[in-house]
Amino acid sequence: DHATLIMTMRDYGTEAYWDERYAAQDGSNFDWYQDFGTLRPHLLPYLQNHQNFEILIPGCGNSRLGAELYDSGFVNLTCIDTSPVVINQMSDRYADKEEMEFTVMDVRRMEIPDACFDLIIDKALFDAQLCGEDNLNFVTEMVAETCRVLKPGGMYICISHGLPSTRMAYLQAKGIPWSVDVVEIPKPPLNAYEEQGASAHHYMYVCTKSEKA
């Protein structure tokens, strides 16, 4: 029912919920919103296939996104998640992809030096943070940290179900030196029927860090 759905959505902001969920799903993959097949044409303009192009996937979960990027030639990948359960699962599952790192880490407090990444791809993590009880602080910290670890000119791509009217204020927070563009991505056919009256699109927020930052 509606009350149960609201409680479950609140759980999306808690670490214990995800550990329990991933333990129950051991051996499986799940991709929120869109898989790499449908995202690929939208992501390709922002991907560069050179040796020093570094990609971060925060809140990687058990998505195949990192592995599929790796198989497409983008091998400098760091995947982080707060759940040790899923990081252990993914490290074992993709042990053959030697240049892809899986690390337990909180996107709000990353143990990563400034200006490390050319591209950060967030698929549903931003939305999950908004579900938590302390959501405003969570998202504010996440945006600041994400911007900090981006190289000047680097891009943070946030794939979300949220309309621009519900997301842009967070992404355009004062003092964050990036510009934000919005790309609409049609929902896959099955997802389009999930919610009556819902948008027929997901939204890709492309945040480009200033070259002077």
Q: What is the pLDDT of residues 59-83, one digit of tens each?
A: 999 999 999 999 999 999 999 999 9
Handedness of CA 88, 92, 95, 96 (dihedral sign): negative
| C-alpha closest to that of 13 among 94, 125, 97, 162 | 125
Give the separation between CA 56 and CA 111, rounded to whole angstroms: 13
> Does residue 180 carry a pLDDT above 50?
yes
* pLDDT on residue 5: 39
Q: What's the predicted TM-score (pTM) here? A: 0.89
Q: Is residue 21 very low, low, confident or very high in pLDDT (cuts 50, 70, 90)? A: confident
Q: Which two tokens stand for residue 79?
A: 């995947």
* pLDDT on residue 177: 97
Return mean pLDDT, the chain: 89
149 to 2, 85, 88: CA distances (angstroms): 38, 25, 24
> Does residue 9 carry a pLDDT above 90?
no
| C-alpha closest to that of 78 among 40, 39, 130, 113 | 113
Residue 193 is which amino acid?
A: Y
Q: Which two tokens stand for residue 206?
A: 């492309």
